[in-house]
Structure 1
Amino acid sequence: MIRVLLVDDHAVFRDGLRELLNHVPDLEVVGEAGTGPQALEEMSKQPDVVLLDIGLPGMDGIRVCRSIVEQYPNTRVVMLTMHDDPQLLLEALRAGACSYVLKAADAQSVVSAVRAAAKGQASLDPASTSRLLEEYRRLSQERAGFSKASLTERERVLLALIAEGATNREIAAHLALSEQTVKNNLSVLYQKMGVNNRAEAVMAAVQGDIPLPKVRWKKRAK
């Protein structure tokens, strides 16, 4: 059973979210909070995942997220917010959130994000990934050449391509490689970065301030 803490200053929204999650067999809402300080108090209930809004009274969600990650390293934070803002998305990921879900998302997306977080996995929808990449590139221009990871130029190109949403087949076509070679190269990249999948690699790039090149690739028709 995945223990979930709901943090949002709108009681009606919390009621609906609680009703949704408590009808999912493997999820259980163990606590609720309407302010930042209350959220930290509710952490005594030892939730596995915190669904956290950004706009909270008393202490904003970014600061709450940072405090939770620092004090409760085994708890995962999923930002659930109405703010479709790439800068806030970037700040949330840097604070330690593993997912960023808009309140406009469907119920299954919220449930999937909670389950992924409980497994220690990161998840971002394609639209959020695209916005994140745009904001990241803007900031990277201000830090040209700065990197905390010893990635090769080819590995940074791979990272840029997966951040853009390119499939293994599309990456192979762009780099004139076989799909198996791409898979092998991605495995090496993930191992070097200490991540398990594409979403985690993109987040690690953001949190590590790794400059990504601008790549032009041809998206294959479905």
Structure 2
Amino acid sequence: MGWSRPHYASEREPDAVPSRETTSAATTLGVLPRARTVFVMNDELLLHGLVHVLAQADGVRLLGDLRHTADLGDRLRALRPDLLVVDVHRGAALADLVAGLDPVPRIVVVIDGEESPAGTLDLIHAGADAIVDRRSSSAELLSAVARVLDGQTALDAHSANTLIAELRSRERAVEADYAGILTRREKEVLALLTEGLDNRAIATDLFISEATVKFHLHNIMDKFGVHKRAALVSAALRGRI
């Protein structure tokens, strides 16, 4: 990202505090009110680089940088930031961090999606307004912060890829769970059904009665919430079952 050591903004400059509810419709940091900003991260190099980049933007006023300590919540409540830039990696940790903050600041989470599972979807559920991977460019960081201060949400390119991978992984896990709820015989019936066999042919192939085939098909459709053979076959062929 090319981040270097920080140049902290002066804290003597007058406040023009944007609330979460009322924010300028501007889309660049240069014309936004100066957001009271707190950084929370233990990685010194990452912290210095982020502060260096954001301190050059007119829309951010640095209040301070904190570490993940036991009294972090109390210190944040005392500072009452408008913008929180934090390096948590799990949604639960972020939810705990912002619990009790009033007003709730806008939150930019910096992740390392290359070295650890980012839990991007969990972070979004926990309240992240933007997620930026530490491998991203300074321009992407500034763009994400600008969007957040303008009341929007943002993902940089790396984080968007991470989110897509997470969603696909969860979908595969759900599909595996679905497959696990079928009995061995139900799987056999479903496999033959997707090959185009009718009930009589399935019964003949499995040496069971047509009534038993109907019974298994009824159970399969009930488990997956479909009510027609065509819908069941379509779902199975698309890999949804």
Question: What band does the TM-score fall into relative to the shorter chain?
Answer: 0.5 to 0.7
Aligned to 1:134: 165
Equivalent pair of 2:39/2:85 in contact (CA under 8 Å): yes
How far does residue 50 in structure 1 lie from its aligned partner after superposition?
A: 1.0
Alignment match, 1:83 = 113
Name the amino acid aligned to 1:16: G
Q: Deviations over 1:24-45 (max 9, x none)?
A: 1121111211215354233121
Of 50, 54, 62, which residue of structure 2 is paired with 1:29?
Answer: 62
> Counterparts of 1:20 and 1:127 in 2: how far apart (Å)?
19
Distance across 2 between alignment mates of 1:141 and 1:100: 24
RMSD: 2.6
Question: Kindly tell me: are residues 52 and 36 of structure 1, through their superposed partners in 2, closer, same or farther at Cα, counting changes over 3 Å?
Answer: farther
Match of 1:97 among 117, 128, 131: 128
Unaligned runs of 5+ in 2: 1-33, 176-237
Question: Whole-Å Cα distance in 2 between the matches of residues 66 and 109 of structure 1?
Answer: 25
**Amino acid aligned to 1:96:** G
Distance 1:140 1:74, change over 3 A: same
Opposite residue 151 of structure 2, the aligned amino acid is: G
Alignment deviations for residues 162-213 of structure 1 (CA, whole Å, 9 cap, x no partner): xxxxxxxxxxxxxxxxxxxxxxxxxxxxxxxxxxxxxxxxxxxxxxxxxxxx
Q: Does the Cα contact within 8 Å between 1:47 and 1:75 map onto a contact in 2?
A: yes
CA contact (8 A) 1:86 1:132 kept: no
TM-score when scaled to structure 2?
A: 0.50
Aligned to 1:74: 104
Cα offset, 1:111, TM superposition:
1.9
Gap regions ≥5 residues in structure 1: 56-60, 145-213, 215-222
Q: How many residues align?
A: 140
Q: Does 1:65 align with 2:94?
A: yes
| Aligned residues with identical type, % of pairs | 21
- Counterpart Cα distance in 2 of 1:123 and 1:70: 22
TM-score by length of 1: 0.54
Trace 1:196-207 onto structure 2 (pairs within 5 A): none
